[in-house]
Amino acid sequence: MFQRLSRTFLGALPVALALSVGAAPVAHAEPKAGGTLTTFTSGYRTLNPAVQSGASTGSPGSQIFAGLVTVGQDYKIQPYLAKDWEVSADQLTVTFNLVSGAKFHDGAPITGEDVKFSLETVKANHPFGAAMFGNVGEIDVPSPETVVIHLNQPVPGLLLSMQPLLMPILPKHVYGDGQDIKTHPRNMENVVGSGPFKVEENNPAERLVLVKNEDFFIEGRPYLDKIVYPMVKDPLTRVLMLEKGEIDFAPFSGIRPTDVARIERAEGVNLTTDGYDAIGYVHYFEMNLRNEPFSNREVREALAHAIDTGFLSKVIFGGKAVPGTGPLHTGNPFYSADVPMYEPDMDKAAAMLDAAGYPVKDGVRFSFVLDVPSWAPQAHVPMAEYIQAQLEKLNIKVELRKAPDFGTWVQRISSWDYEATMNGSFNYPDPTIGVHRHFDCDNIKNVIWANTEGYCNPEVDKLLDAAAVEVDFDKRKALYAELQKTIQQDLVFIYMPQDFSATVYSDAVGNMPDTPFGALAPMYDTYLDK
């Protein structure tokens, strides 16, 4: 108690001093080499991003493995392992020239054969492999430093997928031994990467330690000597550790919007929501469209009028979460705001339900079970409880069913054995990866985050097919604008406020990874000044 009081008091002093001299964000002079950056992990099953999507693997994975390119501000593609590349006029051949002298962590040279092997491995094993590289045909390696990729059809998002998160460069001499790469022992033990940091200690229950790769192919990088990922599962613990300076850098911090004021008060700690555009984390209320009452569009529209996402954003998430307006995240380059909107109106909702054949009978219109997954409780629990309270006013009885673990929920949703669920997914920068999967008729599969709701509209399929191969950015954007309009017209999902993704970091962190891929991009430019 006394400790806490004195800490608060002492903490106030430097703040007052800083204010008196006109506090500005700490300006770092020159990047400086050395130092240990402490971040955190909430647990991972593998360090190989070629077989596992998501931030838990991707965050260290993008440090361990290099990619052909990186994605800079405004989605500008920048050279990485590929020093340059050339796209043929018909958009069907892409030639990459690799930097000379690049080596894996075990000293073996990185060659075109490794790039070819990696691309084929990702195509066959990554959850988005087919979406990203389904149109990749022959891959030629005319010289050790040249890779030529032949495409069956133009792939507009190809280069965006070539950064390390989605296309890590794997050592063929390690993974090409015929074992199933999804369960390959070297995904966790004695990992040989190609990126700026090497694995020094890997104990997923406790901590992961990465050390500087002295032989990294970019001269003078990385700046950091070490990155340490202690296992911290509880978001509240994370906030306390940040305040005490035990963590320097917390991407995907999982903090609640209500923690923001607290973080901003803390000395030496900053918060940013930059660095998540390419991830595009959206949340939505998913209904099983196969069965009554949700097969009825009128019912879905009534619910859309009843659920006030503006209220959720403003009040429940403290104005920090942007309401979603459709399948694309507002930070996506193809986002369009020109979609049908359903203004909050309870009377209208009630009238629509009456008209749709769901009058109040014995005090209830209808009832349904709303599944609440366990993987984003800070977002999904408030949303579900709001929906329950809001629909109760319309005499719709909502029974919440909280999934005890990830597997139980996946089982229910992917076997289509559900009525409605809270859900969320990543857009990724190219909609072919994270958006098409939810709406394509061919993707009505027993796979989680596929088209589990059972939506099929031939018009939408035509749009998706056209957008997937359209190489002209403006034409493509127009196609996606049409798609967003149609999806909102059909009310496939009811979009909730987008995820409040925030990075919390200390003053000492220089060159914060704030590009569209944020902390899932390689951090060889990041340094510490403390």
Partner 1 sequence: MTLVEPSRARTAPPPPKAVSPGRQVWQMFRRNHSAMAGLFILLAIILISLVGPSLYTVNPREMVWMPLTPPGQSEYVLGTDYLGRDLLAGLINGGRVTITIGVFAAVLTVLIGVTVGAMAGFFGGRVDNLLMRVTEFFQVLPNLLFAMVVVMLFGPTLVNISVAIGIVSWTSTARLTRAEFLRIREMDYVKAERSIGAGNARLIWKVILPNAAPPLIVVAALSIGSAILFEAGLSFLGLSDPNAMSWGRMIGDNRPYILDSSWGVTFPGLAIFLTVLAISLVGDGLNDAINPKLRQRQ
Binding site for partner 1 (CB under 8 A): 235-236, 239, 256, 258, 261-262, 311, 315-316, 318, 372, 377-378, 382, 384-386, 388-389, 392-393, 399-402, 404-405
Which C-beta is closer to partner 1: that of 115 or that of 242? 242
CB of 40 to partner 1, least distance (A): 17
Q: How far apart are CA 487 and CA 339, in angstroms?
A: 9
Which C-beta is closer to partner 1: that of 138 or that of 405? 405
Given a contact cutoff of 8 angstroms between Cβ atoms, the answer to whether 91 and 239 are in contact is no
CB of 400 to partner 1, least distance (A): 4
Which C-beta is closer to partner 1: that of 181 or that of 239? 239
Q: How far apart are CA 354 and CA 494, in angstroms?
A: 20
Which C-beta is closer to partner 1: that of 330 or that of 408? 408
Which C-beta is closer to partner 1: that of 354 or that of 392? 392
From residue 71, how far is each of 75, 122, 377, 387 by CA, in Å? 5, 19, 30, 38
CB of 491 to partner 1, least distance (A): 24
From residue 324, how far is each of 258, 289, 319, 337, 436 by CA, in Å? 20, 21, 13, 10, 17
Alpha helices, H only, 440-511: 458-469, 473-490
DSSP assignment letter at 27:
P
Given a contact cutoff of 8 angstroms between Cβ atoms, the answer to whether 168 and 155 are in contact is no
Angle of helix 458-469 relative to helix 473-490, nearest 10 degrees, comes to 160
From residue 297, how far is each of 376, 384, 484, 491 by CA, in Å? 28, 21, 17, 7
Longest dimension (CA), the chain: 77
Coil, strand or helix at 475: helix
Which C-beta is closer to partner 1: that of 173 or that of 401? 401
CB of 84 to partner 1, least distance (A): 49
CB of 497 to partner 1, least distance (A): 14
Token pair recorded at residue 251 = 């991407």
CB of 389 to partner 1, least distance (A): 4
CB of 390 to partner 1, least distance (A): 9
CB of 382 to partner 1, least distance (A): 6
Q: How far apart are CA 154 and CA 334, in angstroms?
A: 18
Which C-beta is closer to partner 1: that of 139 or that of 372? 372
CB of 408 to partner 1, least distance (A): 9
Which C-beta is closer to partner 1: that of 229 or that of 386? 386
Which C-beta is closer to partner 1: that of 106 or that of 234? 234
Given a contact cutoff of 8 angstroms between Cβ atoms, the answer to whether 230 and 42 are in contact is no
Alpha helices, H only, 397-472: 406-414, 431-434, 436-439, 458-469
